[in-house]
Amino acid sequence: MTISDQQLEWIVQEVIRRLRQMGESPPAIGELRLTERLVTLTTLRDRLSSNINRVIVTSKTIITPAVRDELKKRKVELIRQN
């Protein structure tokens, strides 16, 4: 099955519309929001694409030193939120 650009755009818009109806906002382009209590390199595997420029975690999330090094190497900002 091949999806056209128009179909893909419609799907994205529909997901955003439904998230807004539920009172949630979609993540901004370039953001990766993590809800895990512990973030390791395994956690980031296949999730940290080249277009990600910030990773958002909770204030209580534990970040391993290896993750900090990887984010620094990729120039990805780490943001802690409550």
Between CA 82 and CA 73 the distance in angstroms is: 26
Share of the chain above pLDDT 90, in %: 45
- pTM for the model: 0.63
Q: What is the pLDDT of residues 53-64, one digit of tens each?
A: 999 999 999 999
- What is the identity of the amino acid at 44? L
Q: Copy the structure tokens of residue 5.
A: 């650009």
Average pLDDT of the chain to the nearest whole number: 86
Sketch the domain layout of the chain as residue ranges: 26-81
Q: CA of 71: how far to CAs of 10, 23, 37, 49, 76, in Å?
A: 33, 30, 17, 11, 5
Between CA 41 and CA 55 the distance in angstroms is: 13
Between CA 37 and CA 18 the distance in angstroms is: 27
